[in-house]
Chain A
Amino acid sequence: GAVVSQHPSWVICKSGTSVKIECRSLDFQATTMFWYRQFPKQSLMLMATSNEGSKATYEQGVEKDKFLINHASLTLSTLTVTSAHPEDSSFYICSARDLTRQGGQFFGPGTRLTVL
Chain B
Amino acid sequence: KQEVTQIPAALSVPEGENLVLNCSFTDSAIYNLQWFRQDPGKGLTSLLLIQSSQREQTSGRLNASLDKSSGRSTLYIAASQPGDSATYLCAVKDNYGQNFVFGPGTRLSVLP
Chain A residues close to B by CB (< 8 Å) = 6, 32, 34, 42-46, 49, 91, 93, 95, 103-110, 112
Contact = CB atoms under 8 A, between A and B. Distances in A.
A43 B103 contact: yes
Given A43-B89, A43-B105, A44-B89, A110 B42 contact: yes
Interface residues of B, number: 19
Main SS at interface, chain A? strand
Interface of B: 36, 41-44, 46, 49, 89, 91, 93, 97-105
B101 to A, nearest CB: 8
A107 B45 CA distance: 8
A93 B44 contact: yes
A29 B100 CA distance: 19
A46 B41 contact: no
Given A44-B89, A44-B102, A46-B100, A107 B41 contact: no
B43 A93 contact: yes
Nearest to B97: A103
Nearest to B51: A102
A8 to B, nearest CB: 14
B46 to A, nearest CB: 8
